Every structure is written in C-alpha cells, then in structure tokens.
A and B are shown apart, each in its own frame.
Chain A
C-alpha cells in the first residue's frame, strides 16, 4: 500500500529565515505525483507545489521549492524567506492510480516574528 510519512509534528522558524519540512513515501509505482498542501487556520486546503516523479528537476514555486530524491523516496519542502502567513499545517500527499490521495500526518509550522 502507498504510504506517506511526515516525521516532524511541529516546527518553527523565524520570519525571513528558511525552513525545510521532511516527507518520505513508499510506492510501487514508477510514474506518480507528489504534492505539498498547506492548511491555514481557515482549514482550506491550498496546493503549494507539485512534483512529477518522472521529472528529475525539482519543482519550484516562488519561495517554495522541493528536494525530490526518487531513489530515497524523499520529498522535502523548503520555504525560503518565511513569512507570518506561512504559519499553517503542511501536508505531504501522493495520489494512487485513481487519484485517491494519501496524506501524511502533517507538520505544524509556526513562523515567529
């Protein structure tokens, strides 16, 4: 079965600093997708970044980037120049073949002023 693991329940970072959230996964698929979602206090799930497994280049979206290590099945999220609005729960996720998304347990990130 496909699983997603986030081993950091909580993290904090100073405003303007950089923080990295970890995620590992297990899959038997060769082609798949990986996602990071953000859930702020409003609880709306917001897509942060997406990675296609067959692409070697790490995805980037403005201040957000990933370190995708396919062989190690690792998919970490780096947030640069952290802002107060980045405070949220962050979920790593990957869909099964039918888009059935599997989520990690989440990491609660607090950005401190």
Chain B
C-alpha cells in the first residue's frame, strides 16, 4: 500500500510556542489530506480536510486560527499548532486520500504533541 510519513513523531514544547507537523505522501500524489486528533483510548476525531492549492475545510468546533493547515503541494500538508497550550497536547494523525474509486485513506504514523 501507499506510504504516508509524518514528522516529527514526538515533540515537546513550551506553552505559547508554535509547532509544525509535516505529512508527506511518499509514493503517490494526494490531492486531499486529512488531519485527525486522537485522545487517549478514544477514536480519531477529524479536525480538517486539506485540499492541495486551496483553503482547508475545518470541522465544527476546530479553531482555524489555532490549527493552521497548508497543503502547498500534492505530497505535503502541514499542520501548525499556534500558541500551543497544555490542552493542545494530544496525538495528531494525518492521512492521505486514495482514489475515489478505492474510498479509503492511508495513514501516517502520528505525532505525539506534549505542551508543557
């Protein structure tokens, strides 16, 4: 299957700083990428849908000014957590959409963010 990488895998930062997480599709072009947040022992919660060359679509309740998403190319999407606070600590997972005919997504390994 297709490979999606995510960097960094783990990051610890101080409150008030910004953190950027990169998501790359390594062997295919992804016109659509997705960002999820996962709390411990919970399911994946979709934060936003990122489309190459256009603005991301955010789910209700997700602050677009807090979670900046950029999808500058067909292989790269970035999530920037701005002015991070301890409540932003979580596991963030990106995925890339496969073809519409296949219907699924390929997932990155996730990034654990800890805000002190």
Residues of chain A touching chain B, judged by Cβ–Cβ distance below 8 Å, are 32-33, 35, 37, 42-45, 47, 50, 52, 91, 95, 98-106, 108
Report the separation of the CA atoms of residues A45 and B105 in the bound assembly, to the nearest whole angstrom. Answer: 10
Report the separation of the CA atoms of residues A47 and B41 in the bound assembly, to the nearest whole angstrom. Answer: 19
Shortest beta-carbon distance from B63 to chain A in Å: 19
Q: Is the CB of B43 within 8 A of A106?
A: yes
Q: Is the CB of A99 within 8 A of B105?
A: yes
Q: Check: B46 CB closer than 8 A to any chain A CB.
A: yes
Which stretch from B15-23, B73-81, B90-98 is at the chain A interface? B90-98
Q: A101-B34, A103-B44 are in contact. List 17 more A-B contacts (CB 8 A).
A: A32-B103, A33-B102, A33-B103, A43-B93, A44-B109, A45-B107, A47-B1, A47-B104, A95-B104, A99-B34, A99-B98, A99-B100, A99-B103, A101-B44, A101-B105, A102-B46, A104-B43
Q: Check: B25 CB closer than 8 A to any chain A CB.
A: no
| Number of B interface residues in the complex (CB < 8 A) | 23
Cβ proximity bits B60-102 to A, threshold 8 Å, 1 near / 0 not: 0000000000000000000000000000000101010110101
Report the separation of the CA atoms of residues A100 and B32 in the bound assembly, to the nearest whole angstrom. Answer: 9
Q: Is the CB of A101 within 8 A of B100?
A: no
* Closest A residue, CB atoms, query B46: A100
Q: Is the CB of A101 within 8 A of B95?
A: yes
Q: Is the CB of B110 within 8 A of A43?
A: yes
Shortest beta-carbon distance from A50 to chain B in Å: 6
Shortest beta-carbon distance from B108 to chain A in Å: 8
Using A33-B103, A42-B109, A50-B104 as known contacts, say yes or no to A99 and B97 having CB atoms under 8 A apart.
Answer: yes
Cβ proximity bits B9-49 to A, threshold 8 Å, 1 near / 0 not: 00000000000000000000000101000100111101001
Shortest beta-carbon distance from B87 to chain A in Å: 20
Report the separation of the CA atoms of residues A60 and B79 in the bound assembly, to the nearest whole angstrom. Answer: 36
